[in-house]
């Protein structure tokens, strides 16, 4: 009984953090706000300090919370996996695999790999963690994911095994009706006369592009900045500007009304890799899914 309460307490904490609101979290969990507060207080009493900083409008991790929340999230995942796995003890083709994937790489790698994996492993659950590049690496380091698909040409971490997958060039993303959509290719200088939508400064892609252009004496100005590239698609469709995206991020069926135009002088690309722990072999199911991801590498236009 105590274990169940601990799982519910941890789950309540994570929902509060994900939604940044006690009211929204209470509604999501179908409990009263006082009951939700009691669960959080129980965790705080066990850990010896406040985990959250609360105002009338904002909820954020406290300094203690910032230190322990990654550990608590991992503990919750492991406990939930253990409970779910009880029913998986009856056969070899059961269990679960956790894959961390850079958000803009999901359309290219994940659906085809899962479709093939489902045929041979229909009873294996797969959890997809769509994350930033750094978050994906950290999820492998912390043992939260079996492997990651991310930008990791050189991690500097001997504990991580990095296998290159493919080089993915950056392209201009614009609406199909935009004047630039008819171009066969464009130079970076030609973007100067158009409003440009870029990822936030914290994005690994933004840094990659700026560093590469700086080496050639160029600088890319921007008009709009977004945290998530899904927001860039909405701005493009509204006619507010053009954006710069990795080519495979444009492969989603939902982007059929957009056009990808190659960018040259210089050609800039990101290197995507499959990353796993060196000291922890993959389970047979995880290894099979990783092999299917590597097959997508073999089908790429620009292999490493």
Task: Read off the pLDDT of residues 129-141 as tens digits, 9 standing for 90 and up.
Answer: 998 888 898 889 8
Q: What is the pTM of this model?
A: 0.69
- Between 111 and 93, name the one with better pLDDT: 111
- Place 51 in a pLDDT band, splitting at 50, 70 and 90: confident
- Supply the pLDDT for residue 65: 81
- Encode pLDDT of 100-131 as tens digits: 999 889 989 999 999 999 999 998 999 999 98
Average pLDDT, the chain: 85
Question: Which CATH number applies to 2-84: 3.40.50.300, 3.40.50.12500, 3.40.50.150, 1.10.10.10?
Answer: 1.10.10.10
- Place 261 in a pLDDT band, splitting at 50, 70 and 90: very high
- Supply the pLDDT for residue 180: 95
- Encode pLDDT of 73-92 as tens digits: 777 777 766 666 555 544 55
Cα–Cα distance measured from residue 51 to residue 40, given in angstroms and rounded to the nearest whole number? 8
- What does residue 271 show for φ and ψ, rounded to 5 degrees? -105, 115
Tell me the mean pLDDT in the region 247-274.
Answer: 86
- Has residue 147 got a pLDDT over 90? yes
- Has residue 194 got a pLDDT over 70? yes
Inter-residue contact 132 to 300 (CB < 8 Å): no
Q: Which residues pair with 186 in a beta bridge?
A: 263
- Supply the pLDDT for residue 202: 83
CATH code of domain 169-269? 3.40.190.10
Tell me the mean pLDDT in the region 148-160.
Answer: 76
Q: Going by CATH, does the domain composed of 93-166+271-298 fall within 3.40.190.10?
A: yes
- Place 3 in a pLDDT band, splitting at 50, 70 and 90: very low
- Supply the pLDDT for residue 243: 96
Which sequence spans correspond to the domains of the chain? Answer: 2-84, 93-166+271-298, 169-269
Query: Matching CATH topology for 2-84 and 169-269?
Result: no
Tell me the mean pLDDT in the region 227-248.
Answer: 91
Inter-residue contact 101 to 125 (CB < 8 Å): no
Cα–Cα distance measured from residue 147 to residue 140, given in angstroms and rounded to the nearest whole number? 6
Range with top average pLDDT, 33-37, 187-191, 254-258: 187-191
Written in H, E and C, the secondary structure of the chain is: CHHHHHHHHHHHHHHHHHHCCHHHHHHHHCCCHHHHHHHHHHHHHHHCCCCEEECCCCEEECHHHHHHHHHHHHHHHHHHHHHHHHHHHHCCCCEEEEEEEEHHHHHHHHHHHHHHHHHHCCCEEEEEEEECHHHHHHHHHCCCCCEEEEECCCCCCCCEEEEEEEEEEEEEEEECCCHHHHCCCEEHHHHCCCCEEEECCCCHHHHHHHHHHHCCCCCCCCCEEECCHHHHHHHHHCCCCEEEEEHHHHCCHHHCCEEEEEEECCCCEEEEEEEEECCCCCCHHHHHHHHHHHHHHHCCCCEC
Range with top average pLDDT, 67-71, 92-96, 246-250, 253-257: 246-250
Q: What percent of the chain has pLDDT over 90?
A: 45
């Amino acid at each position: 009984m105590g274990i169940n309460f601990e799982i519910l307490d941890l789950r309540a904490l994570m929902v509060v953090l994900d939604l940044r609101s006690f009211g929204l979290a209470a509604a999501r969990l179908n409990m009263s706000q006082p009951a939700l507060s009691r669960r959080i207080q129980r965790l705080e009493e066990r850990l010896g300090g406040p985990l959250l900083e609360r105002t009338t409008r904002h909820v954020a991790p406290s300094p203690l919370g910032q230190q322990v929340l990654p550990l608590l999230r991992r503990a919750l995942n492991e406990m939930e996996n253990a409970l779910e796995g009880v029913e998986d003890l009856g056969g070899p083709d059961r269990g679960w695999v956790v894959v961390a994937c850079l958000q803009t790489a999901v359309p290219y790698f994940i659906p085809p790999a899962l479709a093939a994996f489902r045929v041979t492993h229909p009873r294996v659950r797969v959890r997809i963690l769509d994350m930033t590049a750094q978050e994906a690496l950290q999820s492998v380091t912390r043992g939260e994911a079996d492997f990651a698909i991310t930008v990791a040409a050189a991690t500097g971490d001997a504990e991580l095994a990095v296998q290159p997958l493919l080089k993915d060039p950056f392209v201009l993303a614009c609406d199909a009706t935009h004047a630039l959509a008819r171009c066969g290719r464009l130079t970076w200088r030609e973007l100067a006369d158009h409003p440009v939508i870029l990822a936030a400064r914290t994005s690994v892609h933004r840094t990659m592009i700026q560093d590469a252009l700086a080496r050639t004496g160029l600088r890319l100005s921007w008009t709009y900045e977004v945290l998530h590239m899904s927001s860039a698609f909405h701005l493009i469709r509204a006619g507010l500007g053009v954006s710069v995206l990795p080519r495979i991020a444009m492969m989603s069926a939902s982007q059929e009304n957009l056009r990808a135009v190659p960018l040259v002088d210089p050609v800039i690309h990101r290197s995507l890799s499959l990353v796993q722990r060196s000291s922890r072999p993959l389970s047979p199911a995880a290894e099979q899914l990783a092999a299917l991801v590597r097959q997508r590498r073999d089908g790429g236009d620009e292999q490493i």
